[in-house]
Every structure is written in structure tokens, then in C-alpha cells.
């Protein structure tokens, strides 16, 4: 009986994460020391680094975090312990990277190993699980995102991680990084804005004209089945022809390659979620509410703008969230046709077999997508909560 009670105390998610973290810490390298940016490198395991004070502190905190994940029921305590361990993980990575860098070597590169990435994921999941169990309000979740972003920013600005290869790649490409950041955001948010301007009226039209709804939605669904590279290729020929034969188009920057085909493709991919969610949101409005509004003398336009769209807004915003996260990811592919964005670093890194250059493009892309999803989810839930 006592054994059964003891087993119930253990958190099942905690068991999975602790096992994953233990296996990673024991069998995967914590850092990889490379003679240069494209060399294969020599792995360094946590066991081999145990003489480092930072590694000892990290090992102790990992054990404490594992115990908390398995045995502690308080989500608040688990959150605090996991956050402290996450901070120690990043600090230990910076200190160890500095210490294992060969003295006087300008070409040496230190890359985080598999153990670091698995432990980072495990701690991130523990923190996410604790935040969910705490049932934070939407704005508190945004505050938590800001706090963890500030923690990461403090580590980056302190110079603690400057010995890492990804930071050395950033240092040599800082100006280009800022340029590609602007390009990435302009393409993602620009395509979203255009898709809203086109998709919202189209969704209203589909709602009011049911016989056209299936035709429009099937056409937009067909676009979703076209691979992104194929769609970019399809657009290159007509846009190139337009730029050649219409001087105004060339003056406006419309060409067969570059931002124009990327923007058009992103808009086409973005239309289906916005149109479909607009239709679903308007269908979810109680017809009795419309009848009551019409009985009060409101015109169709007033009913649409004052009743239908406000009530359907949370569902429409869910479609916008899907589009934004999708667009942030797809912009990386646009780099193949000269569209710019963080995909420049990803494809350059793949071509040069420089994985840290790949990370320079992939990590901020993931961060932007994740942050956008958290913020928009919080806004949607906040609106729904106010109306409940």
C-alpha cells in the first residue's frame, strides 16, 4: 500500500523528462571543441568537465531539479527550481566554453553539444508545465515571456557567451543580421497585413454567399498543397516578364526574384486560415443577436461592424495567429530566391557546412515564432475571458 502511494506521488511527465535529461547528460557531449568553423570537432562530456566549478554547480542543480520534478507537487517551487537551473545551464555553457577555448586561437570554435540542447529543452518543458499548472492570466504569461527574454538578453549582453561559435558568427555579421532581421519582419508582417486586407472581406463574402464558399475555400486549399519552393518558382516567370515589359513594375521593385515573389507567395499561403476563420467566426454568431439588432433598426453594415465582426473577432484572431507563425517560418525559405531574412544564414551555413551559422538563422526564427504565438494566444484568451 505504501509502495503504491509512493508511486502515485511521482509525476509522470517528470519521469520522462528526468530520464531524457539523465541520458543526455551522461551520453551526449555538453560542448564540442572545433579547430575552426567547419571542422568536425572534439566532444567534451559533462563527466570530463566535472573539474570545472561551473560544471559541478550545474550537476548539483540538475539533481535538485530532477528531485523537484519527480517529488514536488507545488508548481511554484518547480518553476523557481527549474528557472534557477536554466540560468545555471546557460552560465555554465558560457564559462566552460571560455575555459576550453585553446589559448591564443582565433579560429577555434566552441559549439553547444547535444546534452546542452536536450537539457535546455527539458528545463523549458518543466517551466512550461509549471506555468500551465499555475494557471496564469494571459497578461501574466506575456510578463513571463518578457522576463525569460530579459534573462536571455542579460546573458547575451554580459559577454558571458561570447566564446560560443554562434556569437562569433554574429559578431562578424552584426550589420547583416540587423538588415536580415528587418527583412524577415517586413516580409512576415507585411504579408500578414495584406492577407488581412484581402482575406477579411473575402471571408465576409463567403459567409454571405454560401454557394461561393466551397469554391473559394477549395481554391485556397489547393494553394496550401503547393510546396513553397514550387510556388516561388511558379511566380518567378510571370513577375520576371512583368518587370521586363512594364517599366513601372521594375521601378516598384517587382522582379522575378527578390521580395516580390516571396511576398506574393506568403500572402497566398496566408489567405486560407484568415478566410476560413472569418467564415467560422461569423457562423458562430447567434442569429438571434442579429435579429435583435435588425429589429432595433440597424442596417446590414451596422450589424456587420457592430455585432458580427466584434463577436467573431477571437476566432478571426486565431486565424491571424496561425498565419503569423506560419509566415515567420516560411520567410526563411524565401532566402533561396533573394527574399532576404534569416534564411540567408541558414542556407549559407548549410552550403559551408557551418552549423553555427545555421543556428544564427534558426534560433531567432524559432524565438520570433514562439513569442508571437504566446502573445497572440494571450490576447485571444483575454478577449474570450472578458466576454465570458
The answer as to whether 143 is a domain residue is no
Contact 332, 341 (CB under 8 A): yes
- pLDDT recorded at residue 233: 79
Residues 117 and 205 occupy one common structural domain = no
Q: Cell numbers at residue 356, please?
A: 553555427
The answer as to whether 147 is a domain residue is no
Task: Band the pLDDT of 386: cuts 50, 70, 90.
Answer: low
The answer as to whether 165 is a domain residue is no
The answer as to whether 141 is a domain residue is no
What residues are paired with 111 via a beta bridge? 32
Residues 297 and 201 occupy one common structural domain = yes
Q: Kindly report, residue by residue over 132-155, the tens digit of the pLDDT.
A: 899 888 889 899 999 999 999 998
Q: Kindly report, residue by residue over 170-223, the tens digit of the pLDDT.
A: 988 999 999 999 999 999 999 999 999 999 999 999 998 888 888 898 998 988
Q: Kindly report, residue by residue over 227-236, the tens digit of the pLDDT.
A: 887 887 787 7
Residues 131 and 179 occupy one common structural domain = no
The answer as to whether 167 is a domain residue is no
Residues 106 and 198 occupy one common structural domain = no
Sign of the dihedral defined by the CA atoms of residues 263, 268, 271, 273, in that order: negative
Give the residue from 107, 135, 163 where a domain finishes. Answer: 135
- pLDDT, the chain, mean: 87
Cα separation, 18 vs 256, whole angstroms: 51
Residues 57 and 193 occupy one common structural domain = no
The answer as to whether 56 is a domain residue is yes
- pLDDT recorded at residue 388: 57
Q: Which residue has the higher pLDDT, 9 or 87?
A: 87
Q: Which residue has the higher pLDDT, 188 or 254?
A: 188
Task: Band the pLDDT of 5: cuts 50, 70, 90.
Answer: very low
Contact 118, 28 (CB under 8 A): yes
Range name among 17-26, 100-109, 131-140 with the lowest pLDDT average: 100-109
The answer as to whether 144 is a domain residue is no
The answer as to whether 47 is a domain residue is yes
Residues 293 and 215 occupy one common structural domain = yes
pLDDT exceeds 70 at position 252: no
- pTM, full prediction: 0.86
Residues 87 and 208 occupy one common structural domain = no
pLDDT exceeds 70 at position 267: yes
pLDDT exceeds 80 at position 8: no
pLDDT exceeds 70 at position 6: no
* Residue range of the domain that includes 189: 174-387
- pLDDT recorded at residue 87: 95
b/e per residue 318-341 (b: at least 16 CB within 10 A): bbbbbbbbbbbbbbbbbbbbebbb
Mean pLDDT of 81-85: 95
Task: Band the pLDDT of 387: cuts 50, 70, 90.
Answer: low
Residues in the chain: 388
pLDDT exceeds 90 at position 355: no
Mean pLDDT of 104-118: 85
- pLDDT recorded at residue 9: 56
Contact 101, 108 (CB under 8 A): yes
pLDDT exceeds 70 at position 71: yes
- pLDDT recorded at residue 227: 84
- pLDDT recorded at residue 238: 78
Residues 66 and 207 occupy one common structural domain = no
DSSP string, 87-136: HHHHHHHHHHHHHHSPTT-SS-EEEE-HHHHHHHHHHHHHHHHHHHHHT-
Cα separation, 195 vs 267, whole angstroms: 5
The dihedral formed by the CA atoms of 165, 171, 173 and 176, expressed in degrees to the nearest 10: 130
- pLDDT recorded at residue 226: 85
Mean pLDDT of 273-291: 89
Closest listed residue to residue 62, CA positions, set 22, 35, 26, 28: 22
Residues 363 and 260 occupy one common structural domain = yes
For the chain, how many structural domains are there in total? 2
Return the percentage of the chain with pLDDT > 70, whole number. 93
Mean pLDDT of 100-127: 88
Amino acid at each position: 500500500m505504501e509502495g503504491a502511494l509512493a508511486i502515485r506521488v511521482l509525476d509522470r511527465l517528470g519521469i520522462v523528462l528526468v530520464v531524457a535529461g539523465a541520458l543526455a547528460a551522461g551520453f551526449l557531449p555538453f560542448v564540442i571543441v572545433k579547430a575552426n568553423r567547419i571542422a568536425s570537432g572534439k566532444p567534451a562530456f559533462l563527466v570530463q568537465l566535472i573539474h570545472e566549478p561551473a560544471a559541478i554547480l550545474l550537476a548539483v542543480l540538475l539533481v535538485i531539479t530532477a528531485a523537484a520534478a519527480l517529488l514536488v507537487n507545488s508548481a511554484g517551487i518547480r518553476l523557481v527550481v527549474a528557472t534557477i537551473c536554466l540560468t545555471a545551464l546557460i552560465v555554465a555553457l558560457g564559462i566552460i566554453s571560455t575555459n576550453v577555448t585553446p589559448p591564443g586561437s582565433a579560429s577555434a570554435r566552441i559549439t553547444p553539444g547535444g546534452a546542452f540542447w536536450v537539457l535546455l529543452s527539458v528545463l523549458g518543458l518543466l517551466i512550461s508545465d509549471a506555468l500551465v499548472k499555475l494557471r496564469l492570466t494571459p497578461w501574466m504569461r506575456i510578463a513571463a515571456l518578457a522576463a525569460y527574454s530579459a534573462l536571455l538578453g542579460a546573458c547575451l549582453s554580459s559577454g558571458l557567451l561570447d566564446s560560443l561559435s554562434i556569437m562569433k558568427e554574429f559578431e562578424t555579421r552584426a550589420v547583416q543580421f540587423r538588415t536580415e532581421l528587418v527583412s524577415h519582419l517586413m516580409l512576415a508582417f507585411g504579408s500578414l497585413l495584406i492577407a488581412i486586407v484581402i482575406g477579411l472581406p473575402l471571408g465576409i463574402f463567403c459567409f454571405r454567399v454560401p454557394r461561393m464558399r466551397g469554391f473559394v475555400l477549395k481554391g485556397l486549399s489547393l494553394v496550401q498543397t503547393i510546396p513553397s519552393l514550387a510556388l516561388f518558382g511558379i511566380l518567378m516567370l510571370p513577375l520576371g516578364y512583368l518587370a521586363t515589359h512594364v517599366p513601372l513594375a521594375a521601378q516598384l521593385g517587382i522582379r522575378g526574384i527578390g521580395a516580390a515573389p516571396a511576398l506574393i507567395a506568403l500572402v497566398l499561403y496566408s489567405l486560407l486560415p484568415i478566410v476560413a476563420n472569418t467564415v467560422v467566426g461569423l457562423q458562430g454568431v447567434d442569429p438571434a443577436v442579429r435579429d435583435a439588432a435588425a429589429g432595433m433598426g440597424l442596417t446590414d453594415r451596422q450589424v456587420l461592424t457592430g455585432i458580427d465582426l466584434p463577436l467573431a473577432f477571437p476566432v478571426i484572431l486565431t486565424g491571424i495567429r496561425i498565419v503569423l507563425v506560419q509566415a515567420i517560418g516560411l520567410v526563411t525559405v524565401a532566402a533561396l530566391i533573394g527574399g532576404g531574412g534569416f534564411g540567408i544564414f541558414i542556407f549559407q551555413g548549410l552550403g559551408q557546412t557551418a552549423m553555427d551559422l545555421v543556428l544564427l538563422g534558426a534560433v531567432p526564427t524559432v524565438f520570433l515564432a514562439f513569442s508571437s504565438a504566446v502573445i497572440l494566444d494571450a490576447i485571444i484568451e483575454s478577449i474570450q475571458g472578458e466576454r465570458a
